[in-house]
Amino acid sequence: MKQNSVYDCQIIKLPKIHSDAGNLTAVNNSSDIPFDIQRVYYLYDIPSGAERGGHAHRNLHQILIAASGAFNAVLDDGENKKIVTLNRPDYGLMIVPGIWRELNEFSSGAICLVLASEKYDAEDYFRDYEIFMDVKS
């Protein structure tokens, strides 16, 4: 995680099956994304102006998808920052371990769907930015 940079966090184009009645995206472990999914969660009912995140992970790989609406992910590896706008349900942002992230600019009704490589573990989080920076340096 020490060496990972914001440039290792890339957009992954997910499959999209078109239909006149709407579109469908299916995500298959390992073939459509580079890890097996152990957990799915989603952020919703997000009030205007709210921010989420404000932490980094030791081991967790995640893919963030704007299942509805739009939001920004602000990525920080301790040296470089990158802002990614997510606004398409068939695009996922892969976030590797060791990246501080903040989510903001949620549109009304936005849903942030997250595919995660591990089950929830509170010990996997850095929630103090100074400690995160110490580990990265």
Spell out, one character per residue from 77 to 116, where the chain touches ligand T46: x when CB under 6 A holds, - when not: ------------------------x-x----------x--
Q: Which residue from 93, 43, 40 is spatially nearest to 64, judged by alpha carbons?
A: 93
Alpha helices, DSSP H only, in 1-137? 129-136
Closest distance to ligand T46 from the beta carbon of 121 (Å): 9
- Cβ partners under 8 Å of residue 44, min gap 6: 110, 111, 112
Tokens of 5: 């940079």
- The single residue among 79, 120, 128, 131 that binds ligand T46, judged by CB under 6 A, is 120
- Catalytic, 18? Answer no
- Rounded to whole angstroms, what are the CA distances from 115 to 86, 94, 124? 15, 9, 16
Q: Per CB under 6 A, which region of 3-11, 20-28, 38-46, 75-83 contacts ligand T46?
A: 38-46
Considering the rule CB under 6 A, would residue 41 count as an interface residue with ligand T46? yes
Closest distance to ligand T46 from the beta carbon of 62 (Å): 6
Tokens of 131: 């400690």
Spell out, one character per residue from 47 to 66, where the chain touches ligand T46: x when CB under 6 A holds, - when not: -----xx--------x-x--
